[in-house]
Amino acid sequence: MTGQIKSLDEYHSEYARSVADPEGFWAEQASSFEWRKPWKQVLKWNFREPKVNWFGGGRLNITENCLDRHLATRGKQTALIWEPNDPKRKARKITYKQLYGLVCQFANALKAQGVKKGDRVCIYMPMTPELSVALLACARIGAIHSVVFAGFSAVSLADRIKDAKASVVLTSDYNSRGPKNIPVKQVVDEALALGCDSVRHVIVHQNTGDPLQMVEGRDIWWHEAVKGKRKSCKATAVDSEDMLFILYTSGSTGKPKGVVHTHGGYMVYTEYTFRNVFQYQDGEVYWCTADIGWITGHSYIVYGPLLAGATSVMFEGIPTFPDPGRFWAVIQRHKVNIFYTAPTAIRALMAAGDQWVKGRRMPSLRVLGTVGEPINEEAWQWYHERVGKKRCPIVDTWWQTETGGIMITPLAGITPLKPCFATLPMPGIQPCLVDANGHEIEGNDVEGMLCIKYPWPSILRTTYGDHERCRQTYFATFKDKYFTGDGARRDADGYYRIIGRVDDVINVSGHRIGTAEVEDAINKAPRVVESAVVGYPHDIKGQGIYAYIITSGPIADMAAFKKEVLDTVTKEIGAIAKPDKIQVVPGLPKTRSGKIMRRILRKIAEGDTSNLGDTTTLLNPEVVDEIKQGAKSA
Ligand code: PRX
């Protein structure tokens, strides 16, 4: 491993070096890994097509760097501490050696099912160690994993399986979450009934052991699949730019797109950021509470920590089960040093009352982190005082599915903090703010749309099966820049503060949801003619979902209608996309060209109707007053 940045001066000099000589800088980082064959060219790129190649010609396998490389020195060290949903059950500890064995064995099982390099494997599993094993086993044999968060519905799962043309689905019988056992495999059955013709096999991990229907010839138990398989498996060497995984994420328009990350660059960047942002020290216990179904789990539960040889906690349950003191109990139980969570969890626990955290001594804690959405000042202060007892730096890490790793963040204990600021870019990251005309806004104390000017190793390479969509979405808005979709401020000290999305994406409890997707789902409900969805400020979730709906006629039973809408959204997308407020409206404010004026709807949803701006250009200005009146009943 190369070293860590140890001081603010060193950060500034590393940053300057990474901009003056990006290739030299990243080549140095990359050289601390094991490559089967060295790269020929560090970087080749243009943002026009776009085409970005890092470490071209290099061959490697990321799992050799996550596992094999550590065996001699860390074989007996715990890689994973699994904390089950039920606090009365014993935690499971898995050493690097054991994890290596499990990954190899399952890789052999996948091979036996005919999975080959380049095949897509869809993973729809709860937070058990087998989920990590599943990702790594795919990577071991060069198969491309596509993890789908186990809270998505059968329809969403089917869409993702079809888009990736997955040949195998990995799942579990049930998901233990809080007091409930959710039938995960049943969702897979429902998804496959929607015509996922590419799927040959389903491998089912027995998690709870509750009764289950297996489909003869298609379904195989995980424990049967690994029976007699060897605990060693030579890793398949892949090209640095071969696909490692696809992860679907929501955007402004259409269905979620499959963001593609590749082996070499993703490996270098996730390890580098993990080590430097959290300032991980050998022997420390690190805990990221995300789900592996999202990018945070991919990069900072599975790959980053393992690449860095860390010990991490993986948690099956939810923050409020059996009570809102669970996170703090787990921190005490496993002597967690670094704790990384989402603002929405902090706000929920803060709302549950101080009694759950008061009196809890957590002397092991050294670093706190947040991710996924802007953190408000109150939550930041509470986290700092009540959880970190004013001793622990908070790293507010800004990044995205598409960026693969943390982009703008303090380095723990090094960067002077400002509440709610993601502060400064990581070395190698060249952010800029642009105005609506695409002109870069220079200087400090300014606000604009956040773009990145130069490639970094884990930038997305494409959107699966549709490169043009990737170009359009990220590289066409502003010439020669990657557009993040976020608005940001740069203050007098040059610190960045992320304001939030400037596109039609809502961030609900740190989950990215496209308004168009939710509208499509709502429109499938009975009696819905048209809908428009916007975000509004929500105390716990950050943003809530507000749906305006035009119906085909008067609704006699409003409660029953709203339930139908919620059920339809749950069926089409999943419970995470359920609107918090529904308002039936006589019409939607539209421009003369037929475009919905979301600005007005957003204002009304926010409860701010004092200044709706110019409504005279609307086709139907009269609906605005009616919507304003009706908003009280939503
Ligand atoms: O709006 C930003 C917000 O989350 C978006 C990315 O969502 P996703 O791809 O699901 O990845 C989330 C986890 C990396 C961003 O465009 N976001 C993420 N982190 C922060 C944030 N907003 C403010 N502050 C953050 N630290």
pLDDT digits (tens, 9 = 90+) for 209-257: 999 999 999 999 999 999 999 999 999 999 999 999 999 999 888 889 9
User: CB–CB of 391/361 below 8 Å?
Assistant: no
Could you report the per-residue pLDDT of 6-33, keeping only the tens digit for each? 999 999 999 999 999 999 999 999 999 9
pTM over 0.85? The answer is yes
Closest CA to 565 of 512, 513, 628, 634: 634
* Rg, C-alpha atoms of the chain: 24
Q: How confident is the model at residue 611 (pLDDT cuts 50, 70, 90)?
A: confident
User: CB–CB of 149/401 below 8 Å?
Assistant: no
Report the chain's terminal Cα–Cα distance, integer Å. Answer: 55
Polymer length of the chain: 634
For ligand 1, whether the C-beta of 503 sits within 6 Å is no
Q: Strands 180-183, 201-205: parallel, antiparallel or unpaired by DSSP?
A: unpaired
- Predicted pLDDT of residue 10: 98
Average pLDDT over residues 439-451: 98
Look-up: residue for tokens 């997707």?
517
What DSSP character marks residue 237? P
For ligand 1, whether the C-beta of 398 sits within 6 Å is yes
Neighbouring-strand partners of residue 590: 596
Q: How confident is the model at residue 609 (pLDDT cuts 50, 70, 90)?
A: confident
Average pLDDT, the chain: 97
For ligand 1, whether the C-beta of 427 sits within 6 Å is no
Could you report the per-residue pLDDT of 386-403, keeping only the tens digit for each? 999 999 999 999 999 999
Q: Where are the beta strands (DSSP E) in 407-509?
A: 431-434, 446-452, 462-463, 482-490, 496-501, 505-508
CA distance linking residue 515 with residue 507, whole number of Å:
10
Average pLDDT over residues 266-294: 98
What is the secondary structure of 323-359 as a DSSP string? -TTHHHHHHHHHT-SEEEE-HHHHHHHHHT-GGGTTT
Question: What residue owns the CA closest to ligand 1's atom 10?
Answer: 512
- Ligand 1 atom with the smallest distance to the CA of 396 is 26
For ligand 1, whether the C-beta of 512 sits within 6 Å is yes
For ligand 1, whether the C-beta of 325 sits within 6 Å is no
CA distance linking residue 127 with residue 95, whole number of Å:
18
Say whether pLDDT at 1 is over 50.
Answer: no
Pocket perturbation via mutation, ligand 1, pick of 246, 247, 399 by most ligand atoms within 8 A of CB: 399
What DSSP character marks residue 257? E
User: CB–CB of 85/126 below 8 Å?
Assistant: no
Closest CA to 483 of 251, 245, 297: 251
C-alpha neighbours within 13 Å on the C-beta side of residue 316: 30
Average pLDDT over residues 297-305: 98
Closest CA to 423 of 373, 343, 369, 493: 493
Q: Which helix (H) or strand (E) holds 405?
A: none
CA distance linking residue 306 with residue 300, whole number of Å:
9
- Predicted pLDDT of residue 486: 97
Q: How confident is the model at residue 2 (pLDDT cuts 50, 70, 90)?
A: low
Could you report the per-residue pLDDT of 502-531, keeping only the tens digit for each? 999 999 999 999 999 999 999 999 999 999
